[in-house]
């Protein structure tokens, strides 16, 4: 299943950068031109994918973009030339996506990982352990919202990443995300079903489905609120709060803290990493 979250027209004469974020559940594509996100697209991350299938997924994304041409013969001149940057947190898919992007890019794709320049001072025992998507989120958060800051990514896992008053990464927390919690609950409790992620009208569920929904979603919002307070207490100051990810809007509606939401945080971070490393 594919979803177009933003589609526009792109000038074929301007340099383009394709950012690909392969997460555990969702794979996102973003096309940047003239220093802004021009189009984005998302698909469900498959358990297995061939190089040809990955190539086709990118082409399907590009086929939905209107490219502005400078000549009358569109078929001959509208050839999009772009460079690529890849973040992949699914090890079994990394080489496949790398090969697919290599086949359609002018240069070898830039891959977020050890050795890449991030511009982030690290106060972390082993920076190589920090996931590429988490790096991208922090890079974008720092540029867009400043610091100190807590970046909260709400996907398969919920990651709280902290930038201190000096703009350095000081650590974070990782907990199960909403869909993962719902799946694990259904798998380990024989009589409990998997439920859709929606918020029931009341805190107290009136049936099993509502009880699970309220417990998972409201419980997660309460946990995030509590963790934010604990982080602020440890830092001895408050921070800006930025949410991103598939369930960010759902959770933000229940949080007691004031938060900002950015649906394209990881893609923006990948583009910033591209600019930093291609100079």
Model pLDDT for residues 40-51, shown as the tens digit of each residue: 999 999 999 999
Question: Thinking of the domain 127-268, which architecture would CATH place it in?
Answer: 2-Layer Sandwich (3.30)
The whole-number pLDDT of residue 128 equals 84
How many Å apart are CA 93 and CA 90, to the nearest integer?
6
The whole-number pLDDT of residue 77 equals 42
The whole-number pLDDT of residue 78 equals 45
How many Å apart are CA 31 and CA 39, to the nearest integer?
5
The whole-number pLDDT of residue 225 equals 98
The whole-number pLDDT of residue 79 equals 47
The whole-number pLDDT of residue 158 equals 95
The pTM assigned to this predicted structure is 0.88
The whole-number pLDDT of residue 151 equals 97
Which residue intervals of the chain bear CATH 3.30.420.40?
A: 2-111, 127-268
The whole-number pLDDT of residue 1 equals 44
Q: How many other C-beta atoms can be found within 10 angstroms of the C-beta atom of residue 202?
A: 9
The whole-number pLDDT of residue 10 equals 56
Task: Check 35, 63, 68, 133 and give the catalytic one.
Answer: 133
Read off the tokens for 103. Answer: 């086949």
The whole-number pLDDT of residue 7 equals 52
CATH class of 2-111: alpha beta
63 flagged as catalytic: no
**DSSP structure class, residue 229:** H
* Three-state SS at 177: coil
Q: Which helix (DSSP H) or strand (DSSP E) does residue 240 occupy?
A: strand 240-244
Q: Is 190 exposed, middle or buried (0-12, 13-18, 19+ CB in 10 A)?
A: exposed
Give the chain's residues under pLDDT 50: 1-2, 71, 73-79
Cβ–Cβ < 8 Å for 246, 26: yes
């Amino acid at each position: 299943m594919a979803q177009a979250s933003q589609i526009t027209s792109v000038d074929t004469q301007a340099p383009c950068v394709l950012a690909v974020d392969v997460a555990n559940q969702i794979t996102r594509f973003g096309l940047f031109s003239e220093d802004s996100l021009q189009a984005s697209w998302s698909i469900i991350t498959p358990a297995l994918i061939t190089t040809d299938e990955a190539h086709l997924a990118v082409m399907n994304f590009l086929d939905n973009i209107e490219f502005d041409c400078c000549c009358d013969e569109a078929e001959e001149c509208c050839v999009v030339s772009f460079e690529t940057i890849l973040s992949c947190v699914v090890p079994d898919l990394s080489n496949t996506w790398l090969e697919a992007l290599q086949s359609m890019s002018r240069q070898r794709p830039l891959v977020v990982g050890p050795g890449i320049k991030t511009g982030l001072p690290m106060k972390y025992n082993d920076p190589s352990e920090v996931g590429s998507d988490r790096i991208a989120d922090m890079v974008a958060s720092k540029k867009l919202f400043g610091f100190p800051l807590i970046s909260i990514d709400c996907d398969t896992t919920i990651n709280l990443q902290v930038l201190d008053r000096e703009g350095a990464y000081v650590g974070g927390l990782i907990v199960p995300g909403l869909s993962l919690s719902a799946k694990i609950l259904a798998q380990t409790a024989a009589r409990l079903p998997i439920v859709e992620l929606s918020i029931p009208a009341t805190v107290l569920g009136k049936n099993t489905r509502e009880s699970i929904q309220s417990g998972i979603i409201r419980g997660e919002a309460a946990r995030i609120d509590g963790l934010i307070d604990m982080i602020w207490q440890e830092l001895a100051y408050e921070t800006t709060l930025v949410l991103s990810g598939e369930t960010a809007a759902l959770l933000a509606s229940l949080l007691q803290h004031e938060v900002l939401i950015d649906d394209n945080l990881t893609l923006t971070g990948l583009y910033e990493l591209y600019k930093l490393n291609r100079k």
